Structure 1
């Protein structure tokens, strides 16, 4: 059976950039054994490997579109391009939206790919999330749990 993966991206030492990691950490122990929970501070090209062969992927990362910090964006990346809704604000070497487009061109996207972007306020060095971003973590986690309850597209 193809795996289901929840992937949190970020850097624990860059303030709000770590929001994806905080969300997936809050999900550990709350998802079924059939769900792989992945934390990554590595480069975005690893995403191609993680999404390839998966049935369903939920990806969580920092974003910056000019909306208030803590705003949650949810994009179905199978039917919509990520860049149309928000700009990833993470400090990864490559833009997540570009990597997902590469996956689309190569035919490597899963049948279900949901991307959450949480608006950030502070990407400076430090381990703490800003208050508005920290407040969004549980809301995103709850939405991810709902996504995982829905069957992936056939």
Structure 2
């Protein structure tokens, strides 16, 4: 059975900044987060849907390719009442979050509230370790994630 809330770190730890989602989830393991499931996945749509399908709220942390962007900058997208065809920020993976949302809608497996925290990355080459700008953003991303979970808990 899935918890009322789930935090999903998306990415590949062997592709430098693409590992930001996993790094945030590992950081959150140090916190006391009752009734929150923490998970790491590669971002494949069916795995995302399996993780968030029974949750009231899902927070997804993923890396974002942004040519000419600002590494470490965080984009927040909230999908409270998703519409077919809605396209949140594209992830650093082949299939974007929009496709996962569309499929979840078709299967009636959307969480009540989906929050996507997309972090601009600088380096997605093969290798381990986040770039300094993305690593510097980890505490802020973890705090934003906890704020999202707290906001939902206080609204219940």
Normalising by structure 1, what TM-score? 0.86
Q: Say whether residues 1:111 and 2:115 are aligned partners.
A: no
| Alignment match, 2:95 | 94
Residues paired across the two proteins, number: 151
Normalising by structure 2, what TM-score? 0.85
The gaps in structure 1 that reach 5 residues or longer are none
* Distance in 1 separating the partners of 2:66 and 2:14: 22
| CA gap 1:112/1:124 in 2 versus in 1, 3 angstroms | same
| Alignment match, 2:80 | 78
| Alignment match, 2:19 | 18
How far the C-alpha of 1:139 sits from its partner, in A, is 0.5
| Alignment match, 1:29 | 30
Q: C-alpha root-mean-square deviation of aligned residues, in Å?
A: 2.2
How far the C-alpha of 1:61 sits from its partner, in A, is 0.5
